[in-house]
Amino acid sequence: MQLDTSAPNPVISTNSSELGGSIKTGSGKLFDRKNRLLFYNRAFKIACIASAAFVCLILFSILFFMFRTGVLTFRDVSPMTFFFSSDWSPENESYGAFIFIFGTFALTILTLLISVPLSIVIAVFLAEVAPGWMRNFLRPILDLLVGIPSVVYGFLGLTILIPLLRDITGTNMGDGILAAAIVLTIMVLPTISRISDDAISVVPKKYRDASYALGATRFQTIFKVTIPAARSGIMYGVILGMARAIGETMAVVMVIGNTPQLADALFKPTSVLTSNIVMQIANVPFDSTWNNALYMMGFLLLVISLLMIVLVRLLQRKGAHQ
Amino acid sequence: MKLFKSLSVAAMAIALVASSISSVGAASSLKGKIVINGSSALLPLTLQAANEFKKLNPKVKISASAAGSITGPQSVRKGIADIGAVDWDASTDVPGFKKFDGQVANKVAVIPFAAVANKNVGVSNLTTKQLQDIFSGKVTNWKDVGGSDASIIVVNRAFGSGTRVNFQMKALAGSEFLSKGSNYKEVKSSGDMKTAIETTPNAIGYIDLVYVTSNMKALQINGVAPSEANVINGTYKVWGFGYFMTKGKPEGAVKAFIEYIQSVKFQNGSLKKLKFIPISAIK
């Protein structure tokens, strides 16, 4: 305040010295600017560490809680029965979850069989073939598709896809693993193709130039050079899509038929881990083996998706080394 | 949504003020907190009753939520809830569920159920025996029960559903359901059942009577059409009571709330509007 009343000439010099001095001296004694800054820095650091710790705490308490409740299953059911028996009828004390575990993997594999080739073709088209204006038009559309809530996909599957499948194939119901795989394919398609698209786009131009210089055709260049070079990025997309397919619940539960029987045909109502949990969890008695078995299934899902994430990390590291 | 919320809050506040002014002398001194959990089928009824009851007894707080029927008596046993809404009498054994000891079942409404089929099904009447055969998987073709030659698609509610328990007890006389087969599926809720029956040719299922639409066919059972009138005159047997389970005999605010739901005024007013049948109508 005193500075303002001083003569205009020395203002600049006092101002600069004042700036430098303010850090050292400041106004107060105990809580001067230096200490204040130090305090803010420390407090912010602690807040950041606390937030990070909080996230870890959430993850581990979820894991711990699911495991603690789930593992109680094995008081009443042997692990052999739980993992390898295909007789799931909780009302008669049979808790074989093999149908659901098998169903989850069968559904995921079928989904990937349909979606991966399609996605890669889309990605190649976007990155290599499509003219610029079309690329700029299609990429945001794919990004928007990722954001559609799964229940919408499920509802459309139930009201449009299943009657369509029934008409085309002449089956009685249409519910089953194929219907679920088609719905999931539509859901994971944008994820896989956009990530693959990015991976293909960043393949250095010199690779393509070298390939062309050796006399390769465009087709040969794309499938023998570009895609192999973008391999780890594409795998990353596939695994993300796979994780989404494994964990997806709402869309699946609406089209899969929810019957505890082995998915040995494309059009047979069946059930997977997620759909079985959501179908039954509201209706089970709290402290029953049945309830614990559902928690165990949830824990299994959690472990599977954690493994997927670890795999993604490994691939990323491998990709970075190349 | 926010506007609507604040509007409804304002409306409620005005209603509260108005009721407290108009009935200063009669204002109830009842205090307390009532937690209700359980059947989603009974939730609209519970919410309506709670709103009206709170106007009469401003000092009573009521919070109601719903999951599955079985969570009602369970929450009561665990002490989480004061009232457990359930679609069957949970103080007795029913197929699949043991009784809850020490709980008292208070009847609050009559819920009729109907066997329903897709519009394309030619059959309009089934006997109890035929229903048993269809839902246990013994009869798999509509031609065996007087329809055209087509496979029967059985749509069932998941185990634990209150509708399923009632249908099994009242329409199938306790006989078992099939649980496997390529023409069998289970659905999660009454809404899913409605969609499945409406969109799947040759499908048969069952549903609360209030959910029956013109896009499906409500089947006669033993020659009697499912209707409110037939439930009341005693000819249609497929219905159940909705119950409020309490730990021991209800007391205080809980007792007053249950009595309010059972009162003639509520039973013949709001309850009928929500398409339930008053308990007093059943002889």
Average pLDDT for chain A: 86
The first and second tokens of residue B15, run together, are: 């209603």
Which of B78, B161, B199 is facing A283, going by the closest CB pair? B161
Q: Which chain B residues are within 8 Å of A100, Cβ to Cβ?
A: none
Write down the ipTM of this complex. 0.72
CA-to-CA distance for B157 and B185, rounded, in angstroms? 8
CB-CB neighbours of A190 under 10 Å: 22
Which of B78, B160, B199 is facing A284, going by the closest CB pair? B160
Strands B203-208 and B153-157: parallel
Band (pLDDT 50/70/90 cuts) for residue B38 is confident
Cβ–Cβ under 8 Å, residues B75 and B30: no
Cβ–Cβ under 8 Å, residues A294 and A284: yes
The answer to whether B185 faces chain A, any CB pair under 8 Å, is: yes
CA-to-CA distance for A178 and A263, rounded, in angstroms? 10
Is B158 close to A280, i.e. CB distance below 8 A?
Answer: yes
Cβ–Cβ under 8 Å, residues B188 and B217: no
In a domain, A24, yes or no: no
In a domain, A179, yes or no: yes
Band (pLDDT 50/70/90 cuts) for residue B3 is low
Is A172 close to B153, i.e. CB distance below 8 A?
Answer: yes
Strands B60-64 and B83-86: unpaired
Which of B158, B199, B200 is facing A283, going by the closest CB pair? B158
Q: What is the mean pLDDT of residues A76-93?
A: 88
CA-to-CA distance for A265 and B56, rounded, in angstroms? 60
Q: Of residues B279 and B24, which shows the higher confidence score?
A: B279
CA-to-CA distance for B164 and B157, rounded, in angstroms? 6
CA-to-CA distance for A78 and A95, rounded, in angstroms? 9
The answer to whether B79 faces chain A, any CB pair under 8 Å, is: no
Closest residue on chain A to B95 (Cα) = A91
The answer to whether B13 faces chain A, any CB pair under 8 Å, is: no
Domains B31-110+240-281 and B112-232 share a fold: yes
Average pLDDT for chain B: 86
**Which of A28-32, A70-74, A207-211, A252-256 shows the lowest per-residue confidence on average (mean pLDDT)?**
A28-32
Q: How far apart are the first and last CA of chain B?
A: 44
Residue A313, pLDDT above cutoff 50: yes
> For chain A, what is the radius of gyration of the CA atoms?
29
Band (pLDDT 50/70/90 cuts) for residue B65 is confident
In a domain, A238, yes or no: yes
CB-CB neighbours of A215 under 10 Å: 7
The first and second tokens of residue A300, run together, are: 């299994």
Cβ-count burial B60-71 (b if 16+ within 10 Å, e if not): bebebbbbbbbb
Over residues A149-201, the pLDDT tens digits come to: 999 999 899 889 999 998 898 888 888 999 999 999 999 999 999 999 999 99
The answer to whether A169 faces chain B, any CB pair under 8 Å, is: no
Q: What are phi and psi of B142, to 5 degrees?
A: -60, -25
Calculate how close chain A gets to B138, using CA atoms only, in Å: 18
Number of domains in chain A: 1
The answer to whether B273 faces chain A, any CB pair under 8 Å, is: no
Closest-CA residue to B85 (of B117, B41, B50): B41
Over residues A299-308, the pLDDT tens digits come to: 999 998 888 8
Q: Which chain B residues are within 8 Å of A286, Cβ to Cβ?
A: 74, 78
Is A91 close to B185, i.e. CB distance below 8 A?
Answer: no
With the C-alpha atoms ordered A281, A285, A288, A290, is the resulting torsion angle positive or negative?
negative
Residue B218, pLDDT above cutoff 80: yes
Q: Which chain A residues are within 8 Å of B186, Cβ to Cβ?
A: 257-259, 279
pLDDT score at B97: 82
Phi-psi region of B234 (alpha: psi -120 to 50; beta: other; left: phi over 0): left
What CATH number did the domain enclosing A290 receive? 1.10.3720.10
C-alpha angle A302/A305/A307, rounded to 5°? 110
Task: Give the pTM.
Answer: 0.78
The answer to whether B265 faces chain A, any CB pair under 8 Å, is: no
Calculate how close chain B gets to A143, using CA atoms only, in Å: 28
In a domain, A192, yes or no: yes
The CATH classification number of B112-232 equals 3.40.190.10
DSSP-assigned beta bridge partners for residue B126? B221
Q: Which chain A residues are within 8 Å of B181, Cβ to Cβ?
A: 259, 261
CA-to-CA distance for A175 and A269, rounded, in angstroms? 5
The answer to whether A156 faces chain B, any CB pair under 8 Å, is: no
Is B186 close to A259, i.e. CB distance below 8 A?
Answer: yes
Cβ–Cβ under 8 Å, residues B106 and B244: yes
Is A282 close to B192, i.e. CB distance below 8 A?
Answer: no
Over residues B14-31, the pLDDT tens digits come to: 544 444 444 443 456 788
The answer to whether A265 faces chain B, any CB pair under 8 Å, is: yes
From residue B278, how far is each of A181, B106, B254, B266, B272 by CA, in Å?
Answer: 47, 13, 20, 9, 7
CA-to-CA distance for B232 and B278, rounded, in angstroms? 9
Closest residue on chain B to A263 (Cα) = B182
**Between chain A and chain B, how many beta carbons pairs sit less than 8 Å apart?**
72
CA-CA-CA-CA dihedral for B48, B50, B54, B56, to nearest 10: 70
Which of B69, B161, B184 is facing A269, going by the closest CB pair? B184
Q: What is the mean pLDDT of residues A105-124?
A: 94
Q: Of residues B186 and A321, which shows the higher confidence score?
A: B186
Helix (H) or strand (E) segment spanning residue B148: none
Cβ–Cβ under 8 Å, residues A174 and A267: yes
Residue B231, pLDDT above cutoff 80: yes
In a domain, A22, yes or no: no
CA-to-CA distance for A128 and A39, rounded, in angstroms? 54
In a domain, A39, yes or no: no
Helix (H) or strand (E) segment spanning residue A71: helix A33-71
Is A278 close to B199, i.e. CB distance below 8 A?
Answer: no
Closest residue on chain A to B203 (Cα) = A173
The answer to whether B201 faces chain A, any CB pair under 8 Å, is: yes
> For chain B, what is the radius of gyration of the CA atoms?
21
Domain span holding position A200: 79-321
Calculate how close chain B gets to A289, using CA atoms only, in Å: 14
User: Domain B31-110+240-281 belongs to what topology?
Assistant: D-Maltodextrin-Binding Protein; domain 2 (3.40.190)
Angle between helices A289-321 and A98-124 (to 10 degrees): 30
Residue B12, pLDDT above cutoff 90: no
pLDDT score at B179: 81
CA-CA-CA-CA dihedral for A87, A88, A92, A93, to nearest 10: 100
The first and second tokens of residue B282, run together, are: 């059943």
Domain boundaries, given as residue ranges, for chain B? 31-110+240-281, 112-232
The answer to whether B70 faces chain A, any CB pair under 8 Å, is: yes
